[in-house]
Amino acid sequence: MKKFYISLLGSALLSIVVLGWLIDAFSQQTQTPHDEFSLQSQMINGFSKHLGSVATSERANYVKQLANDFNVKLDYKPNETLALPPSLILQMHTQSGLILEDQQGFYMLYSNEVLSPYHLTMRLEKGLETDQRNDIILTLLFYAGLCIFMGFIIAPLAKRLTVLNEAAKKFAAGNVQARIKVSHFTYIKDVELTFNRMASQIEKLVAENKLMASSLSHDIRTPIACLRFGLDAALDTSDEKKVKQYLSRMENDLDHMESMLKSYLAFATLEKNANQLTYSQTNLSHYLEDLLAQLAPKIETSKLKIQLNSSNDLVCADLHWLARAITNLIGNACDFAKAHIYVSAKRDEHYLYITVEDDGPGISPENFNNVFSPFFREESHRNRADKSYGLGLAIVAKVADWHHGNVSVSKSSQLGGACFTLKIGQHHDS
């Protein structure tokens, strides 16, 4: 929008200056007082010649007679009555005389060697209707030109606003894929890019909500069916021991449902944290060592060997959410690794790279892109990670996105299993 404001203000100023200069030049060429009063200038010159042949003492009466005979306002006065600078006094002695303007209109002063130290003053009659008509024409030309200049600026803006309005109508009608094709020749590029980002975010949220509703309705059927079976079985039996067994199973099913609902609701409210990140700096190697120390019980329980290879660079990120993403990746590796996990970390000028590799079954190449989608789990992995609900890697992807980075998966070249690479932006000075 700043570009639009500058262009609008610059065009307005330029158009006013250019139009004012053109109209002023036109006015000076067509309406100069000397050209307009050339006839009166000839008359006053003629009067002065006649006065040259009249005695000085009789010139005042002769001027009155000329005024009556020619029906003009003509006076004969001494030069000392004039309060004019020397430059204007000299101009009064030129062939065309000196033309001045007062509240009543124009008047001409003329003198020469014959008349000195006196001068003639003649009131000049100017056509008021012509002046008013010319002023109106010039005013209309000025505003018309200004409108044309501004039209060249406003027209592209109106066109882009129409494009924005049409895209907004399509989006409101349910087409969440409606986007604006951004043009380089637009004043509202920031607005268009913001609209596209907003539309993409809303489309993503709508898709996630649909997927969450679908996944929840699908995954919750099993524990509900188990609860129904346990309840019916408990009601049909009179054996107290079996009733307690059924109730114990039902309690486990309820715990499973509660855990599932908590995970789904936590993921549904995860996006609000995107604008609440708190950046801070830390030593990368020490940071990862502390995370592995926290995960040591799970690693030891799984009887796994984990190797860390990290630089001592300073990194800048929201350390809470970065830790959540890294522990999700390492926890995922612990669920599927056979014996070894390898973690490496380094950074360059713009990004921090964290890689987690394992010697487990890996991810099928056709699922490399799907594995970060919410609620997605490979069929071969479902029984081994029942409590993840397919949200762990989706949270990693969100954390990476919040930090202007991404996460990807491939096959580990040294361990043969999955290799996850988390890329975190380092735009803040560190």
Question: What's the CA angle centered on 164, arms 158 and 167, to 5 degrees?
Answer: 145
- Least confident range from 109-113, 127-131, 140-144, 415-419: namely 127-131
- Least confident range from 71-85, 91-105, 261-275, 372-386: namely 372-386
pLDDT, residue 356, reads: 95
Mean per-residue pLDDT over the chain, rounded:
82
For residue 179, the 8-state DSSP code is -
The stretch 292-301 carries a mean pLDDT of 87
pLDDT, residue 130, reads: 52
Instruction: Check for a shared fold between 189-269 and 276-425.
Output: no
* Ordered DSSP codes for 88-151: HHHHHTSTT-EEEEETTEEEEEE--TTTTTEEEEEEEP--HHHHHHHHHHHHHHHHHHHHHHHH
Task: Give, in words, the CATH class of 189-269.
Answer: mainly alpha
Check: CB of residue 337 under 8 Å from CB of residue 417.
Answer: yes
For the chain, the domains span: 37-126, 189-269, 276-425
Does 138 score more than 90 pLDDT? no
pLDDT, residue 430, reads: 45
pLDDT, residue 8, reads: 66
The stretch 72-96 carries a mean pLDDT of 89
Q: 234: which 2 tokens?
A: 């408990």
Does 349 score more than 90 pLDDT? no
For residue 66, give the nearest of 55, 45, 50 by alpha carbon.
50
pLDDT, residue 354, reads: 94
Does 383 score more than 60 pLDDT? no
362 or 205, higher pLDDT: 362
| Exposure on the CB side of residue 229, measured as CA atoms within 13 A | 10
Cα 305 to Cα 302: distance, rounded to the nearest angstrom: 9
What are the beta bridge partners of residue 422? 354, 407
pLDDT, residue 384, reads: 46
Local confidence band at 86 (pLDDT 50, 70, 90 cut-offs): confident
pLDDT, residue 385, reads: 45
What are the beta bridge partners of residue 357? 342, 419
pLDDT, residue 20, reads: 72
The architecture that CATH gives domain 276-425 is 2-Layer Sandwich (3.30)
